[in-house]
Amino acid sequence: MAVISQKVGDEFAIYNGDCCEILPTVPDNSVHLSIYSPPFAADGGGCLYHYSSSPRDLSNCRTHEEFFQHYKFAVEQIHRVTLEGRFSAVHCMDIPRKGERGLIDFPGEIIRLHESCGWWFWARHFVWKEPLGVRNRTMARGLAHKTVIDDSSLCDVASADCVLLFRKKGDNSIPIAHKEGLMDYAGARKVPYELLQYRNWKGLQRENRLSHWIWRQYASAFWDDIRIDRVLPFKEGKEDEDERHMHPLQLDVIDRLLVLRSNPGEVVLTPFMGVGSEVYEALSMGRKSVGVELKKSYYCQALKNLKSLGRGKIASFGL
């Protein structure tokens, strides 16, 4: 296994290396949940964003077909290491065609790939993004008000992110139970004050109005109050030639996935770790975590982010 650097503690392991080399060393049926964002493939060769100059990087595949051939290996390995009845959550979005107008249904291609590898396509959440915020961040001409004035046939849509849930076939042998209901809400929407009295409710759960309220938000296909800027620090991990629009997965999204799809103490995997958002939040919420990142600067930023968990956490995780 070609590991450039690593940090391993009792509750976590993070590696600076190629996930296609590291994943085969993970034991069968040892992971309870995986959460990650793959590089965003673009049509006509290469990826939408450039992450590194390494030939091992999926963002440097020469063709769209080559990208999915490479990515398929990772999907198959994630399937192998996941327990039956458990989930892999993939964050993605529709992406522009390279050198052309129009979009590629990247989520649809990811769904078809996973189904070919033996997963059930289980669910899809959409993460709403405010159009002006997207315009200001990306400078997309099609989201400018001026385009409406000049020719609205050229207007774009502030595409929602997708979180695709795939379940490994078979029965889940370890229930993900919430005996006291859902207690804490990850999102911008304010919990009604009168429901706070139900936190840690000891009575019948059908009477737990707080848990019912949180569940209705989480069970929706449209997550419209994700705090887009609630992310880990990432700018120090960027280099001069990086793509301009790097933005880590929001912690609200990760929180919801961890609560709904894993138990405390279980193992969470992220094969494309970036600056460590999934690892950080999994450890914060009492899970064990395994992360792999090819790019050195991202790996170093992930390590810095993990160290920011606090003195108690640092000691217990060996950081």
| Complete DSSP assignment for 102-160 | SEE-HHHHHHHHHHHTTEEEEEEEEE---HHHHHHHH--GGGSHHHHHHHGGG----PP
Q: Residue 57: its pLDDT value, please?
A: 60
Domain count, the chain: 1
Domain-located, residue 151: no
**Residues of the chain with confidence (pLDDT) below 70:** 1, 41-61, 99-100, 234-247, 310-319
Residues 183-214 pLDDT 10s: 999 999 999 999 999 998 988 999 999 999 99
Distance CA 228, CA 107 (A): 20
Q: Residue 289: its pLDDT value, please?
A: 95
Does pTM surpass 0.85?
A: yes
Place of tokens 């949180």: 214
Domain-located, residue 200: no
Residues 60-115 pLDDT 10s: 667 778 888 889 999 999 999 999 999 999 999 998 877 667 888 999 999 999 99
Domain-located, residue 147: no
Q: Residue 245: its pLDDT value, please?
A: 47
Q: Residue 235: its pLDDT value, please?
A: 52
Domain-located, residue 293: yes
Q: Residue 276: its pLDDT value, please?
A: 94
Q: Residue 311: its pLDDT value, please?
A: 44
149 CB-near residues (< 8 Å, 6+ apart): none
Q: Residue 31: its pLDDT value, please?
A: 97
Domain-located, residue 189: no
Q: Residue 53: its pLDDT value, please?
A: 54
Domain-located, residue 213: no
Residues 234/62/40/33 CA torsion (nearest 10 deg): -90
Question: For position 45, which CATH number holds?
Answer: 3.40.50.150
Phi, psi at residue 48, to the nearest 5°?
A: -60, -40
Domain-located, residue 188: no
Q: Residue 237: its pLDDT value, please?
A: 47
Q: What is the DSSP string of the chain?
A: --EEEEEE-SSEEEEEE-HHHHGGGSPTT-EEEEEE----B-TTSSBSS---S-TTSGGG-SSHHHHHHHHHHHHHHHHHHEEEEEEEEEEE--EEPTTSSSEE-HHHHHHHHHHHTTEEEEEEEEE---HHHHHHHH--GGGSHHHHHHHGGG----PPEEEEEEEESS--SS----TT------SSSPPPGGGGGGTT--S-GGG-HHHHHHHHHHTSSEETT--TT-----GGG--TTS-TT--PPPHHHHHHHHHHH--TT-EEEESS-TTTHHHHHHHHTT-EEEEEES-HHHHHHHHHHHHTT-HHHHHHHT-
Q: Residue 58: its pLDDT value, please?
A: 63
Domain-located, residue 201: no
Residue 196 is encoded by which pair of tokens?
């706070």
Q: Side chain identity at 47, as an amino acid letter? A: C
Place of tokens 């709904």: 260
192 CB-near residues (< 8 Å, 6+ apart): 213
Distance CA 302, CA 132 (A): 29
Asked if 8 and 318 touch (Cβ cutoff 8 Å), the reply is yes
Range of the domain at 85: 3-131+158-181+221-314
